[in-house]
Chains A and B, each alone.
Chain A
Amino acid sequence: MLSFIENAIFRMVWLEQFVERLLSVIGIDVTGRLGASLSFFIYDVIKISLLLCGLIFLISYFQSYFPPERSKKIIGRFRGIRANIIAALLGTVTPFCSCSSIPLFIGFTSAGLPLGVTFSFLISSPMVDLGSLILLSGSFGMRTALAYVFFGLVIAVAGGTMIERLHMERYVESFVRNIKSPDVTGHKLLVKDRLCFARSQMADTFKRVFPYILGGVAIGAFIHNWLPEDIIEGILGNNSPFGVIIAVIVGIPMYADIFGTIPIAEALLYKGASLGTVLSFMMAVTTLSLPSLILLKKVVKPRLLWTFVVICAVGIIAVGYVFNILQPKLNLYY
């Protein structure tokens, strides 16, 4: 049953076969390199777009219960590491795009939430969301997806806690600390309002993310069919001790949505990169990126910014190695 769901819904094996057959009918040889690239590209773009729209709609409906204003209030009720855990969990369900990280940061901080708790939220929000859980299930199997989410949350909680311990409050720009932000309550939403919200989130997200899907799938198709396996396996495979570190360093400055990153990751894995290396690449791309760091620089001083980057990078690298060790033991990747 589980494998049926994985194959039919998440991986859409039928769609792959359909695209291949369609291309053969119009005379394209899908066993050749060019044909295979084309077939992979078409199949993957359609698959991800379908999943994306369906998922975003469902998830946005659920997310309409957790606007950041409400998450802020919920988190405020907890103390200590519990607050970090709740923040990391809510980070996965609160609607987020990197453009909203600054209002969030100012809002959370000025409401008096501890700095570390705010960072737990800011780490988990882009790295782990409900959509990525489901999409990852499609590409890497459910167990791997759950492990990704679990380790993402661990990094968010541990990273936030560490920033808290370092007492870096004075490295927040002073104008942020001087704002007082009240709690607001949204009016009760009807089912109709939530559906409306979900529909508009879906349209917006699709518009925002589609270029990244095209780019990601194109790169994925290129890796899939044109890059020699021994090169990838040599750099990112099991026997390369620095594979994870290389993947993270390459991934950090890149800016892409998780939906655009998955096809690249999938292709790398297919070509012999190891699972932990690929997952840490995805975490690095989604969590840390030049544009989001430039935004964050407006509200925190360089020292805190660097601490944040280093903590995330070290956490992501550690998770990569742990995954690489666990993979053969748990038989994670199908």
Chain B
Amino acid sequence: MDINIKVIGEGCEKCDKLYENTIKAVEELSGELSAENLGKCLAAAKVEKVEDLIEIVKLGVMSTPSLMINGEIRLLGQTASTQKIKELIKEYA
């Protein structure tokens, strides 16, 4: 299983915050769950930053920052704490 995480936003302050928190969430989870499948996936996963406006719209998104996991929009127009992002990612185990 692959996990694909996209942080969507054109370089606003909040977008950077969401990106940082997401990176942290992925790191922490891959450590905590290193024995499980999800942990292994996360260790290999790359958090993608989508900053180009056209690419953003092509994803169907207009509000930033947003978080997309495996093609699903999980956060729309808001940032979230590392804890919250970890919970979101766990749903994809």
Secondary structure class of chain B's binding surface, majority of residues: loop
Contact of A186 with B by CB under 8 A: yes
Chain A: interface size category: 20 to 34
Specify which chain B residues have a CB less than 8 angstroms from the CB of A185 in the assembled complex. Answer: 73
Contact at B61–A187, with CB atoms within 8 Å?
Answer: no
Q: Closest CB of chain B to A209's CB: distance in Å?
A: 16
Structural contact, A103 and B64, CB atoms closer than 8 A:
yes
Contact yes or no, A186 B57, CB < 8 A: no
Q: Nearest Cβ in chain B — how far from A184, in angstroms?
A: 4
- Specify the chain A residue showing the minimal Cβ separation from B69: A187
Q: Is A104 an interface residue (CB 8 A)?
A: yes
Please report which residues of chain B, range 34-93, place their CB below 8 angstroms from some CB of chain A when the two chains form the complex.
53-54, 56-64, 72-74, 76-80
The answer to the question of A230 belonging to the interface, with a C-beta cut-off of 8 Å to chain B, is no
Give the size of the chain B interface in residues (CB under 8 angstroms).
20
Contacts A69-B63, A103-B64 given; does A180 touch B76 at CB 8 Å = no
Q: Which residue of B lies closest to A106 (CB)?
A: B57
Let me know if A168 is at the binding interface, CB within 8 A. no
B24 at interface (Cβ–Cβ under 8 A)? no
Once the chains bind, are A186 and B73 in contact (CB under 8 Å)?
Answer: yes
Contact B73 A187 (CB under 8 A): yes
A104 to B77, CA, bound (A): 13
Distance between Cα atoms of A181 and B56 in the complex (Å): 9
- Among A95, A179, A200, point to the contact of B63 (Cβ < 8 A): A95
How far is A196 from B77 in the complex, measured between Cα atoms in Å?
Answer: 12
Report B-chain residues with C-beta under 8 Å of the C-beta of A72: 62
Question: Can you list 10 contacts pairing A with B, beta carbon distance less than 8 Å?
Answer: A67-B62, A67-B77, A100-B62, A107-B60, A110-B57, A182-B58, A184-B61, A186-B76, A187-B74, A197-B78
Residues of B that sit less than 8 Å from A by CB: 14, 53-54, 56-64, 72-74, 76-80
